[in-house]
Chains A and B, each alone.
Chain A
Amino acid sequence: MTDIANQTEANVLPNAHTSATPPDLQVVNMAKHFGSLIALDNVSLHLKPGTFHALLGENGAGKSTLVKCIMGFYRADHGDVLINQQARTIDSPRDAHQYGIGMVYQHFTSVPAMTVAENLVLSRFESPNLIKWKEELEALNAFMADAPFKVPVEALVGQLAAGEKQKLEILKQLYLQSRILILDEPTSVLTPGEADEVLGLIREQVTDGKLSVLLISHKFREVTSFCDEITVLRKGKYAGTGAVKDLSVAQMAEMMMGEKREPQPVEKTPRTEAVPILQVEHLQANKDNGVPALHGLNLTVNKGEIVGIAGISGNGQRELVEVLAGQRPATGGQILVNGTPYTATRKEINQHCVFVLPEEPLKNACVAHMSVADNLALRTFDRPPQAKSFMLSFKAIRAAAANLIGTFKIKTPSPETPVGNLSGGNVQRTVLARELSSNHINLLIAANPCFGLDFAMVDYIHCQILNARNQGVAVLLVSEDLDELLKLSDRLLVISGGHFTYESEIETADFSAIGHAMCHSVH
């Protein structure tokens, strides 16, 4: 046994980049925690040589943590990485590279102002101090001739299209002779056409036995078209593995999201007649990069109703909430509140009593360096009693803040502490306190309001939202947590690719249809 082990040892190192088949990669019982958060709980994974393996899971399921442990960015609490059945310690990406493992990140890691050639040469861990460009270019051209896709060597990276940049990131790993590619949602910046092209060409390399690929994704379409096997993580735990050909999309969705769940009954007062509060008509908006994110959405939220919007993140939820909150211009369509056009000016917000609980509250709803008291007063500081004509009453602001800090149990050293110094949960409480304390809420827009909070706080927020609903507030709840939506919503919509792909009253909502609609894209 030792003989064989030693022999393998001798073979692995020098041949990691040149042997005929990619190495076999196994992760055994890996665990990792950050503070009290358990990010990975005894997860195992087996990437067989020459296979295309998908790592599936919802946001926060631990996929990125797992691959970062493999790559040596994080040190796992326990568990082993086995390469060709040998336990290996990987402390840095450089170590991972030694074993032939390379990773393509979600964001581009090439330098935009340099040429493709310069980026490739620079990416080599042992490039010489003096670069002989003539020889390097010859070698690069020879490499490009054999590469599955071509990128012009002399072009500036900044002038490449997103698809070409992503190809370059993958080429970089091939250039470094990585035999195991870890791709972290490589297609999130690509059009479906580009994504198919890139993945298809990688698939050919895998089929030829030149590469093994571990693909992090939550797009079922990519998984069913390109992958051999899947491993699913759910909330940091191993949720299952299997061959793609044996599984249906519905089964994969169930692995990702857990057992089929019944909505928990909650106290809801019956609704009276439908009075529309929020009406969204043919709403269109672009992403940051100018690509359309919302393709003409229609939506009505009635008085005393919670409308839930489900979907995998990145399908237009963020843009929708930002448009409604006035943070992003709509490129088409209109928003009506109480039947009148609404553009989220401060006057209209006050007049129609619209309140927003956005995601990332520190960024979207707070001024980080201003005090907790000031942040709590952002809605009211310019109105009596906190303002008398154009003078602010700091006494009134402080008194109101002290009151809210007590009621909402915000843990802060003092009302004067900058809100950016508080923990994430307490920032969330600060925003909740500001948005939910008003007596006259007409419309409440909430995006992932319970993200990263403990159970008691989650229950508290759910209660507050339900209370608001029972008092006649129209609530739009955008969430990635399906349990939350099934529990709270009166009506459920699913957003996918900027379209609503499913709509149902909560009593008749069909779990597998929701799963399908989430992955369904309309072209």
Chain B
Amino acid sequence: MAAETLGWWGVPLGILAGTLRGSAPFLFVSLGECLTEKSGKINLGLEGTLLMGAMSAYGISYLSSTQWGISPAIAPWLGVLVAGLAGMVLGFIHAWLSQQPKVNDIAVGIAMIIFGSGLAFYLGKPFIQPQAPRLPTIDLGNLISSSPAIQSALKISPLFILGVLLAPLMSWFFKSTRPGLFIRAVGDSPDAALAMGVSINKVRMLCIIAGSFLAGIGGAYLSLVFPGSWSERISSGQGLMAVALVIFARWNPIQCLWASLFFGGAQSIGPALQAVGIEQGYYIFNAAPYILTLLIMVITCSPKKTLSGAPGALGTISG
């Protein structure tokens, strides 16, 4: 409807709206993964963490507002917090398992995807039908335009703003704090870190748990902001794509932000075109994020050279 009044302008507006709405989960998961990979471990399980976060945020928001008598304004924020905590629990399991001798973190990550999503589906069954209070949005559109199309496009979640602020904060953390430098040292050259008297296991444990906390928040965004309900198909692989996105972003938090916006935008190409009546190739446009992921992998991977910026210890079993 919005697009009808705006005509073809609806397409860029739709993509912009989709970018602002849909990139937050990418952003949180990729920042979490960035933190994890900077310490030299890979956590593929963030897909499971994302689902677990989405389920627990929705469930807590619903239960606390309807059964525990908590105000609907606070309930979703409680959900966000619990989603982060649930992520931390999964993160702890991953960190503990993947640091056992001779354990491969990719294999543990795949197991954690299955475990996290399975647990979320199992516990989330009762929350598919009911309506939980959602997070409020900041209606920027109301300030600049009276057009309902623009108003609905420019609804921005405070969580998204938090994520956008987190990216430069993390970049600064890696550059200008002692813990940040230690994380990079552990991820890049564990031997050097050991020589500095840093406990590699402890640093990685903390990084994986903190990264999973962020991924859990990303899940809360899915169920409490956009699309704003809980179902088993809610993540559609966004957690895994976010892992690829970290490579695309060269392990740089600021570039993680740009890459997340890019992926969020790509995701909304299909719906935006559909809104102006282009039905042909709809599925192909909807597949844009997946095609992009593949393309990025093909372009950036080479058996002969290692990526610049890749933490040196990444993917080594003993390291």
User: Which one of A12-20, A114-122, A343-351 is at the B interface?
Assistant: A114-122
List residues of chain A with CB within 8 A of the CB of B188. Answer: 111-114
Is B178 a contact of A111 with CB atoms below 8 Å? no
Residue B195 lies at the interface, judged by CB distance under 8 Å to chain A: yes
Query: Interface size for chain B: under 10, 10 to 19, 20 to 34, or 35 or more residues?
Result: 20 to 34
Residue B312 lies at the interface, judged by CB distance under 8 Å to chain A: yes
User: Mostly helix, strand, loop or mixed at chain A's interface?
Assistant: loop
Given contacts A110-B192, A111-B192, contact A127 B185 (CB under 8 A): no
Alpha-carbon separation in the docked complex, A121 to B178 (Å) = 9
Q: Which of B178, B179, B309 has the most CB of A within 10 A?
A: B178
Alpha-carbon separation in the docked complex, A347 to B270 (Å) = 60
Alpha-carbon separation in the docked complex, A216 to B191 (Å) = 22
List residues of chain B with CB within 8 A of the CB of A113. Answer: 184, 188-189, 309, 311-312
Alpha-carbon separation in the docked complex, A112 to B193 (Å) = 12
Is A111 a contact of B179 with CB atoms below 8 Å? no
Q: Which of B182, B185, B192 has the most CB of A within 10 A?
A: B192
B residues 171-185 in Cβ contact with A at 8 Å:
175-179, 181-182, 184-185
Residue B197 lies at the interface, judged by CB distance under 8 Å to chain A: yes
Instruction: Look across to chain A and name the residue whose beta carbon is closest to the beta carbon of B189.
Output: A111
Residue A109 lies at the interface, judged by CB distance under 8 Å to chain B: yes
Alpha-carbon separation in the docked complex, A109 to B184 (Å) = 14
Interface residues in A, total, Cβ within 8 A: 23
Report A159 CB to chain B, min CB distance, Å. Answer: 10
Residue A123 lies at the interface, judged by CB distance under 8 Å to chain B: yes
Residue B196 lies at the interface, judged by CB distance under 8 Å to chain A: yes
List residues of chain A with CB within 8 A of the CB of B175. Answer: 133
Residue A457 lies at the interface, judged by CB distance under 8 Å to chain B: no
Is A129 a contact of B177 with CB atoms below 8 Å? yes
Contact count A vs B, C-beta below 8 Å: 55
Instruction: Look across to chain A and name the residue whose beta carbon is closest to the beta carbon of B309.
Output: A113
A residues 92-119 in Cβ contact with B at 8 Å:
92-94, 105, 107-114, 118
Report A199 CB to chain B, min CB distance, Å. Answer: 23
Is A122 a contact of B181 with CB atoms below 8 Å? yes
Alpha-carbon separation in the docked complex, A108 to B179 (Å) = 22
A residues 119-155 in Cβ contact with B at 8 Å:
121-123, 127-133
Is A112 a contact of B189 with CB atoms below 8 Å? yes
List residues of chain B with CB within 8 A of the CB of A132. Answer: 176
Alpha-carbon separation in the docked complex, A105 to B188 (Å) = 18
B residues 193-212 in Cβ contact with A at 8 Å:
193, 195-197
Is B195 a contact of A127 with CB atoms below 8 Å? no
Report A162 CB to chain B, min CB distance, Å. Answer: 16
Alpha-carbon separation in the docked complex, A108 to B197 (Å) = 16
Given contacts A113-B188, A114-B185, A122-B185, contact A127 B178 (CB under 8 A): yes
Alpha-carbon separation in the docked complex, A118 to B177 (Å) = 10
Alpha-carbon separation in the docked complex, A122 to B177 (Å) = 10
Is B192 a contact of A109 with CB atoms below 8 Å? yes
Alpha-carbon separation in the docked complex, A118 to B191 (Å) = 16
List residues of chain B with CB within 8 A of the CB of A105. Answer: 195
Report A32 CB to chain B, min CB distance, Å. Answer: 21
Report B34 CB to chain A, min CB distance, Å. Answer: 14
Is B312 a contact of A107 with CB atoms below 8 Å? no
Alpha-carbon separation in the docked complex, A129 to B180 (Å) = 9
Report B137 CB to chain A, min CB distance, Å. Answer: 35
Is A123 a contact of B181 with CB atoms below 8 Å? no
Is A111 a contact of B184 with CB atoms below 8 Å? yes
Alpha-carbon separation in the docked complex, A215 to B195 (Å) = 20
Is B192 a contact of A131 with CB atoms below 8 Å? no
List residues of chain B with CB within 8 A of the CB of A133. Answer: 175-176
Given contacts A111-B184, A113-B184, A114-B188, contact A129 B196 (CB under 8 A): no
Given contacts A113-B184, A114-B184, contact A123 B196 (CB under 8 A): yes
| Contact residue among B176, B177, B181, B197 (Cβ-Cβ distance under 8 Å from A114) | B181
Is B192 a contact of A118 with CB atoms below 8 Å? no
List residues of chain A with CB within 8 A of the CB of B192. Answer: 108-111
Instruction: Look across to chain A and name the residue whose beta carbon is closest to the beta carbon of B176.
Output: A131
Alpha-carbon separation in the docked complex, A128 to B195 (Å) = 18
Report A127 CB to chain B, min CB distance, Å. Answer: 6
Alpha-carbon separation in the docked complex, A177 to B185 (Å) = 22
Report A287 CB to chain B, min CB distance, Å. Answer: 20
Alpha-carbon separation in the docked complex, A442 to B89 (Å) = 63
| Chain A interfacial positions (CB closer than 8 Å to B) | 92-94, 105, 107-114, 118, 121-123, 127-133
22 interchain pairs (CB within 8 A)?
Answer: A105-B195, A107-B191, A108-B192, A109-B191, A109-B195, A111-B189, A111-B193, A112-B188, A112-B312, A113-B309, A114-B185, A118-B184, A122-B182, A123-B196, A127-B178, A128-B178, A129-B177, A131-B176, A131-B177, A131-B178, A133-B175, A133-B176
| Chain B interfacial positions (CB closer than 8 Å to A) | 175-179, 181-182, 184-185, 188-189, 191-193, 195-197, 309, 311-312
The 5 closest A-B pairs by CB, nearest first: A113-B188, A111-B189, A109-B195, A111-B185, A129-B178
Task: Please give 16 more A-B residue pairs, beta carbons under 8 A apart, in addition to A105-B195, A113-B188.
Answer: A93-B195, A108-B192, A109-B192, A110-B189, A111-B185, A111-B193, A112-B188, A112-B312, A113-B311, A118-B184, A123-B196, A129-B179, A130-B177, A130-B178, A131-B176, A131-B178
